[in-house]
Amino acid sequence: MREDLPAEVFMNFASDDDVQSVKRWRVSSRLRTNVSMSTRAADACEFAKLAAKRWRHYRDTRTFASSLEALHHLIATDPHGEYCFHLKITAAWFPGILGAAMVRRTWCHHLMIDFLFVHPDICGKLVGIKTVGLQILQSICLLARELGCKRVWGEATLDSASFYQRQLGKLVEDHFAIEKSEIARFAKRLQSFPKPGLNTKAV
């Protein structure tokens, strides 16, 4: 949602350059007097940096995927391997990446969300853009369904717990799990992505 109107965005796998680019995010000086929003924006910047730092391990050990085809290939090569990928949301009307997530496919074929974050100007409410985090979560579930994963799970921070609680409709403390039926429910909202690659139009 852009200024309370539907707007087209694109979800895809992120490249190494994409992962490194979000490390340049900064908290706007316009948030200097708003402690709450400044803290949220700072958290987004910190998560982006931590995700990039952790990404380097998977990149250097060649256990990352930059496409759905590559992820399928890795899993076929070693069904119990742990593999990492980043997802990103972009739009023609926004400079850079609106939001991203670092996700791991675990040895037991679950998807674990290590980090999910949106641009500091968005989470700091300096621009009228909403539902970016939801679009990322839905796309992760869409990918989980495509892969045949039975669970998506992750850690919730004090700030993000309320987001997951709203979306899942249940109490969320320091962790959450999205089971197979809920994965299908979230994935159904994004039915239009063209296979075999994950290049999802989300409105």
Give pLDDT tens digits for 13-32.
999 999 999 999 999 999 99
Task: Please tell me the total count of domains within the chain.
Answer: 1
Helix (H, G, I), strand (E, B) or coil at 90: strand
| Mean pLDDT lowest among 59-68, 107-116, 179-188 | 179-188
Q: Is residue 4 part of a domain?
A: no
Identify the CATH number of the domain in which residue 40 sits.
3.40.630.30
Look up the pTM and report it.
0.89
Amino acid at 89: I
Does residue 2 lie within any of the structural domains?
A: no
139 within some domain: yes
1 inside domain: no
* 89 in any annotated domain: yes
Q: Tell me if 3 is assigned to some domain.
A: no
Rounded to the nearest 10 degrees, the angle between the axes of helix 180-188 and helix 132-147 is: 120
Beta carbons of 2 and 93 less than 8 angstroms apart: yes
Range of the domain at 153: 9-202
